[in-house]
Amino acid sequence: MKRFAVIAALVVAGGTVQAEPEVGITKDMPSVTVQTPNGAVEIARIQDTENEVTGEWARTSRPCPNFCIQPMIPADGVTTIGELELIEFIQDPEAVVVDSRTPDWFEGGTIPGAINIPYTYVLDELGQLGCEPDFEGWDCADAKQVALFCNGIWCGQSPTAIRNMIEAGFPAERIFYYRGGMQVWRLLGLTVAGNE
């Protein structure tokens, strides 16, 4: 039966045989190509249906504190999003996706199109997010829409960055929180950019 499904998935296009992915992002979206500072990147899911998350990403229990389960909404006015909304966000050239983890985590692999602004430096980097320096700190009247993420639902790096941004004057309604972070992104077998 599986062999029939694979054969049925073959498409003849321009004289070449191409297989439709068995594992898509959604029924109608097998993959999506996004523009990043390093060029176009295709976001797709791993096609090996036997693939499993291993290593650091398979750990289910980390000591709390510091690795405590984070709230669904890290601050009033912030919108929590899932993978499909984040993929849509990545495709918007006006929006910014921020990996708020420390550089060592970022270098180990990130979501395509994300920039690294560690949570410990976010207040120094609000200019990248559309804010202008003023005498009292930052003027964020023209702030961009920003989605932040970190390692997963047990990671406090992006919630900390979000709360600090709001305190500095960044409008909460322009902040989106991808709570699943890298752990759920990897669990779903989605494309990871950079070193793995």
**Mean pLDDT, range 118-135, rounded to an integer:** 96
Say which residue, 36 or 14, is predicted with more confidence. Answer: 36
Residue 132 is assigned to a structural domain of this protein? yes
CA pair distance 33, 44, nearest whole angstrom: 9
Which amino acid is it at 178?
Y
Residue 129 is assigned to a structural domain of this protein? yes
Helices (H) and strands (E) in the chain, counts: 5, 11
CA pair distance 177, 60, nearest whole angstrom: 21
Which domain covers residue 57, as residue numbers? 31-187
What pLDDT shows up at residue 195? 63
Residue 95 is assigned to a structural domain of this protein? yes
The enclosing domain of 63 has a CATH number of 3.40.250.10
Query: pLDDT band at residue 104, thresholds of 50, 70 and 90?
Result: very high
CA pair distance 127, 139, nearest whole angstrom: 9
pLDDT at 132 over 50: yes
pLDDT at 23 over 90: yes
What pLDDT shows up at residue 17? 52
Residue 4 is assigned to a structural domain of this protein? no
Q: The pTM is what?
A: 0.88
Handedness of CA 136, 177, 186, 96 (dihedral sign): negative
pLDDT at 14 over 80: no
Q: What is the number of residues in the chain?
A: 196
pLDDT in tens, 138-173: 999 999 999 999 999 999 999 999 999 999 999 999
CA pair distance 166, 86, nearest whole angstrom: 21
Number of domains in the chain: 1
**Mean pLDDT, range 87-111, rounded to an integer:** 96
Residue 17 is assigned to a structural domain of this protein? no
DSSP at 57: G
Helix (H, G, I), strand (E, B) or coil at 193: strand
Residue 101 is assigned to a structural domain of this protein? yes
Residue 73 is assigned to a structural domain of this protein? yes
Residue 87 is assigned to a structural domain of this protein? yes
Determine how β-strand 96-99 pairs with β-strand 146-149.
parallel
